[in-house]
Structure 1
Amino acid sequence: MNDNAFVAYLNRYTTASSEHEAAFDEFTSATPTGIPSLSIPTRLEAKLLAAFHSPSPPTVILTGNAGDGKTYLCRKIVGAFRHSPLTVWPSHDTIHHFESGDVVLTVVKDLSELSIATAGTVLAELSSALTGQTGAPYLIAANEGRLRAVLEERGLSVLAQQIDHQLRHGPDLTPNAKLLVIDLNRVATSQYIGPVLDWMTADVAWSGCGSCPVRNTCPMADNAAQLRQPGIKDRLAFLYGVLEQLDIHVTFRDMLIHLAYTITGGLSCTEVKRRAQVDETAWQYEAPSYAYYSNAFGESAPVGFRRKTAAIRHLRKLNVGQESVFDLDHFIVGDDEMQPDLHAKLFGNSIDLGGRLFEQDRQAYLRGLSATSEAAQEFVTRWLGHCRRKAFFTHPDGDLVLKLLPFQFLKDYLQLIDQAVSLKREHIKNLLILGLNRAFSGLYLTDRHILYVTAHPSSSLENAVPAVLMRIAETNIDLVPSHPDANEMIERWSSLTLRLQVPGVPPQTVPWNMNLLRFEYVMRRAYGSTPDILAQECELAVRHLKDSLVARLGTQRSANELEFFEYNGRAYQHRRLFFLGSSSVEQA
């Protein structure tokens, strides 16, 4: 029987293969015969195509990482501009010119391919075109670092300011905007997991497997069948969403590599048939290691593949198999009297559990094997993490599986960003004030209604405590969720911002991006966790916030006043000293 051509196609797009095809644009246009090409309609693509169908298209600069689909978008935009699809770039030139009526579109599909001098000339011409009334449009794809470097080298300060503003605040959405700068690093890749998996697991791609002699023991075919289920797709998309809340953007290319490997595990049809037919018993033992929920975390992947595959590298930090949740572990190894129907549904005889292999090992474990015996340790080592990962994707209790992720306050965070108005927001805000007070001062403070911005004491002073430079009342602190809407060009992820209003005339607002990791760190500090937890990842960001607040202190503070904390034997108490000539007056 012939091998499934779609499996070979997927494996061409994993870095486990020597035939790796790195370009997203190439991958979407080279599918096997009879299988439609991958097409994912996006809001950004629709808006850009509409803009370039118009008689006066804007100049567009696309920034992002390699694999974000810049070349793909350029090809689609050129097709819209000239009202004819562009299948192949007309030459190997790095600068292209396309005509439509009286309008000429200049396209640079990769600014990094140009020398600094040539790139500077292109951007200078672009700047001149923007200042003219009938300037010809440009379409430029560029790495942000390269783009900024060329602008600085050429001294294009006005254009640099325009680009910087849009990179910080999003593209210009005013009517008839002449310049659109779009940062593809802001795109929420998580929302495309479902459509991509629908395409990768479509019946047409796997219909040829029905007559395969090892169909019933093939992990690839089973993975495709499982990943068709909406609930499982949602859990995988959720993992990507968690990465985004950590400000980690996964490119389209990295997503495709990861999802292709999640299905195939780097296996080929030939290899599966050979291993299953040579030694069926050995293959029954090995097949579970290629289950989709293990592949998603690169459990059996070569070290080099893990290192090169960005999505796996990031997801391994969230590896749900490493977190012990008592209720779930007890359910996995417990007897059948505890939710027997659910246990049978999740952990019944199946390919990803070695047929009856897991159940046999579980029963042996329950029959009284010593916890220190080699057999018991092997069961825990082999199956517990494996079944935790399966439960994460298939257990119906969403709150329970959240506990498998290494965050104590993930549910609180999700409630804050998902609800426009949250009853918990004031309570959480007070806890964040408490956590920041402890992080700023290094003291075990208890005030959760006033944020104290402190100075660092001199290390030469014995028992020194930090002076208070600024107080910010809770009424001047707010937690603001931000959600994308239909008017925006890109489908970005939701975010949470802590806004602090610094006292003064006029008052100034300092925004702080409260991503999941920072939220977790500050909340742990509020609940008494020691600073070493998440310190390396978060303490520098907290220090930058403190420095930003102190920088806005200016001359508002009186030189005749000193605020500090005094330890009274039970807690630190806020004190104020007023200096009147040669004397001082203390106020609690």
Structure 2
Amino acid sequence: MARFLPFDPSHDQIYEEYQVASDSLNLDTVAFDYVLAAARSGARMIVLTGDAGHGKTHLCRRVIESYLGYDEEQARRLINEACDGRQVIRAAQDAATTGALRIFKDFSEFSPEIAAELVESSNDGEAVTIICANEGRLRAVLASDAAGSYCRELLKSFETSFDDGKASRDGSTHIVNLNHQSTAAGEDGQSLGDRAIRDWTSGTRWRACADCDARDACPINRNREMLSERVDSEVAGTRKQKLRLLFATLERIGYVITIRDMLMAFAYLLTGGLKCEDVHRMRKRRKRGWQQSYAFYNLAFEAPDTLSKEQLNRLPLMQQLPKLDPGRRAIREIDERIVNQQEIFGHGQLDLLFPAPSESEEDVIDAADGIDEIIGDPRNRKQRASEAENVTRVVRALRRRAYVDGVANNNLDMAHLGFPYGADFLGIVHDNLDAPARTLLKKRVIAGLHHIQGLQFADQTPTLHLVDPAFGRSMSGTAILAARIKPADVDLIRLSEKWGRSDEVPHHVKTSVDWIDRHVVLRIVDQKDAPHDLLLDLMTFDCILRAAAGHVPTKFYEHDIRRVASFLGRIAQSAHANSDQINLIRDGRSQTISIDGSTIQVGAGA
């Protein structure tokens, strides 16, 4: 696993071009199945787009093997020698197909103008063309001065895929956007992350550990035992489920996790950057107490002392995970159990032993007993600081262990990660809210939208009131309204539902990649216009429901508040109000002002 960490020269083998067949980790993805099926069904063009690390080159190599009949070593040679888009790769002599491929492995190797000319010339029907490019480069090439009608057609297909969720419109041109690919998609251990962990915690690669004299004191082996289904399939399954939720939550707040990021992260979580010789050396200095820093659930959120800040910066995912650290969030129900009730975790577990603040290096604190062994009798400032530091370190570790072990109710998982309304978000994306629950949730969302506009009501109302955008956000207790939206015209749906069901929409984006819904859609229906849709990621959704509770940190959520307010303002602006009547909110109550000739009449609002 050391070769998946950017800490030594062997790291270059994580890149497809430098791998050898014996080292490769082949994960079957939905994208691979889709591309292979498209090639076999007569596709003319397949565009693989996405950030570096999603596995575009890896996909091309696998397609060369499966579609053209080459073995892995031959396919890797062709990737390095014949995938600049200028050559056509024919099927192997003994292959069962007569197909051919033209592959642009990397658009960045050409200027946009030259790349556009190559794309135009590839439209000859001789071979299936596969283009690999990140989104920015793809747009630059297809919109360059040298782009012709074929490039413009590709650009239109690419841009409309964001609006209608179709990977292909005609079965001839396919857009596979790997930025939609999720490492956390799939239940019952079938996600890409689950399969990678299962591969790394089983098999012959751990055979050498059986006879190692440091096995019982090795944090790497302990991490393997905690995540291995062969040791305890039920508990290991729970822990992988919590890691899967952790990664899915990152994706739902806008971070794109590539397969390369995932593999580097899991290699780090299992080893902490240690090698066997490091474990033997550290064990000689101290037998127990240091290993807890290398427990996978601590490594996810806090780096050990043996890693420098520069090394950690080479792991992009490790810069993001600490945002979700459950160890920094106090939930009374959980803390009562892990600190006071005790007996939640077994005694003597290697990952729960901490060095004791004593002169003896062999004294340890067993966190399975909560913090009882830490609390002493400090007599000066230094001792008080040391006691506070030990309590903080142990309690944070216990909270993290409680999260990955599923000690609390599953409904608290998202709160544990810092999103108290995350369970509501998941209720929408998993489509498991019944009608009453959905109605109550919509009512809370409407209250949040009112708060964002500065509206205050004496009584909670299910009707969505929109402030006239000409008057901006209400701050004075009086607001002029542009429109009222009935509760039935406000809805919360999954993004994939906005695009249509995958079994009804040909070449739906959900069928082209490993998919999870990362957004819910706030849909407001104006009877005079088409529905207005706003995509809400987990952060924006949390912002709205925090506002519904009465307060939202405006500085922290400034971007989200501005985006939601702008969306509501556009709807309000398109509303056609009666010029003879003004609707307003004053002192928390709705009123109307009507003009009848020279008489102004004030009455209660609708």
Question: Which TM-score applies when normalising by structure 2?
Answer: 0.83
Q: Distance in 2 between matches of 1:529 and 1:84?
A: 61
The yes-or-no answer on 1:181 pairing with 2:194 is: no
Quote the offset at 1:161 in angstroms: 1.4
Change in CA separation of 1:561 and 1:419 when aligned onto 2, cut-off 3 Å: same
Change in CA separation of 1:461 and 1:502 when aligned onto 2, cut-off 3 Å: closer
Q: Distance in 1 between matches of 2:387 and 2:168?
A: 62
1:328 pairs with one of 320, 325, 334? 334
**Aligned equivalent of 1:152:** 143
Assess if the C-alpha contact under 8 Å between 1:60 and 1:140 holds in 2: yes
Change in CA separation of 1:530 and 1:428 when aligned onto 2, cut-off 3 Å: same
Quote the offset at 1:303 in angstroms: 2.0
**Aligned equivalent of 1:236:** 243
The yes-or-no answer on 1:15 pairing with 2:28 is: no
**Aligned equivalent of 1:194:** 194
Quote the offset at 1:530 in angstroms: 3.6
Assess if the C-alpha contact under 8 Å between 1:453 and 1:471 holds in 2: yes
Assess if the C-alpha contact under 8 Å between 1:58 and 1:179 holds in 2: yes
Q: Distance in 2 between matches of 1:455 and 1:218?
A: 65
Quote the offset at 1:103 in angstroms: 5.5
The residue identity in structure 1 corresponding to 2:568 is K
Secondary structure in structure 1 of the residue aligned to 2:25: coil
The yes-or-no answer on 1:363 pairing with 2:372 is: yes
The yes-or-no answer on 1:349 pairing with 2:353 is: no
Q: Distance in 2 between matches of 1:496 and 1:370?
A: 55
2:133 pairs with one of 119, 139, 142? 142
**Residues 442-461 of structure 1: pairs in structure 2 closer than 5 A:** 443=456, 446-455=459-468
Assess if the C-alpha contact under 8 Å between 1:577 and 1:587 holds in 2: yes
**Aligned equivalent of 1:213:** 213
Higher relative contact order (CA 8 A, sep 6+): 2
Decide which moves more: 21-30 or 89-98.
Answer: 21-30
The residue identity in structure 1 corresponding to 2:425 is Y
Secondary structure in structure 2 of the residue aligned to 1:499: strand
Q: Distance in 2 between matches of 1:330 and 1:241?
A: 28
The residue identity in structure 2 corresponding to 1:53 is R
**Aligned equivalent of 1:59:** 45
Secondary structure in structure 1 of the residue aligned to 2:571: helix
**Aligned equivalent of 2:445:** 432
Q: Distance in 1 between matches of 2:560 and 2:104?
A: 39
Change in CA separation of 1:200 and 1:537 when aligned onto 2, cut-off 3 Å: farther
**For the aligned residues, what is the CA RMSD?**
3.0
Please give the per-residue CA displacement for 1:203-245, whole angstroms capped at 9, x wherever unaligned: 4111111111211111011111111121111111110111222
1:564 pairs with one of 584, 588, 596? 584
Assess if the C-alpha contact under 8 Å between 1:53 and 1:80 holds in 2: no
Quote the offset at 1:463 in angstroms: 4.0
The yes-or-no answer on 1:523 pairing with 2:545 is: yes
Quote the offset at 1:43 in angstroms: 2.2
Quote the offset at 1:523 in angstroms: 0.8
**Aligned equivalent of 2:29:** 42
**Aligned equivalent of 1:260:** 267
Decide which moves more: 436-445 or 424-433.
Answer: 436-445
Quote the offset at 1:485 in angstroms: 5.2
**Aligned equivalent of 1:382:** 393
Assess if the C-alpha contact under 8 Å between 2:584 and 2:591 holds in 1: yes
Quote the offset at 1:473 in angstroms: 0.9
The yes-or-no answer on 1:297 pairing with 2:287 is: no
Quote the offset at 1:578 in angstroms: 2.4
Please give the per-residue CA displacement for 1:308-364, whole angstroms capped at 9, x wherever unaligned: 322222211101111112232233332xxx363xx243x543244249723288333
Quote the offset at 1:304 in angstroms: 2.5
**Residues 106-185 of structure 1: pairs in structure 2 closer than 5 A:** 106-126=102-122, 129=124, 134=125, 136-154=127-145, 156-172=151-167, 177-185=171-179
Quote the offset at 1:136 in angstroms: 4.3
The residue identity in structure 2 corresponding to 1:328 is I
Secondary structure in structure 2 of the residue aligned to 1:466: strand
2:568 pairs with one of 541, 546, 561? 546
Q: Distance in 2 between matches of 1:358 and 1:448?
A: 55
The residue identity in structure 2 corresponding to 1:362 is I
Secondary structure in structure 2 of the residue aligned to 1:66: coil
**Aligned equivalent of 1:416:** 428
Assess if the C-alpha contact under 8 Å between 1:94 and 1:114 holds in 2: no
Q: Distance in 2 between matches of 1:552 and 1:305?
A: 53
Q: Structure 1 stretches of 5 or more lacking a match?
A: 1-9
**Aligned equivalent of 1:5:** none
**Aligned equivalent of 2:94:** none
Please give the per-residue CA displacement for 1:81-139, whole angstroms capped at 9, x wherever unaligned: 3222412225276324213477653210111221111112123335x55xxxx564311
Q: Distance in 1 between matches of 2:471 and 2:165?
A: 43
Secondary structure in structure 2 of the residue aligned to 1:221: helix
Quote the offset at 1:365 in angstroms: 3.5
Secondary structure in structure 1 of the residue aligned to 2:525: strand
**Aligned equivalent of 1:311:** 317
Runs of 4+ in structure 1 over 6 Å off: 367-372, 459-462
Q: Structure 2 stretches of 5 or more lacking a match?
A: 92-96, 185-190, 229-235, 356-362
Assess if the C-alpha contact under 8 Å between 1:431 and 1:448 holds in 2: no
Assess if the C-alpha contact under 8 Å between 2:495 and 2:535 holds in 1: no
2:69 pairs with one of 69, 73, 83? 83
**Aligned equivalent of 2:276:** 269
Assess if the C-alpha contact under 8 Å between 2:50 and 2:178 holds in 1: yes
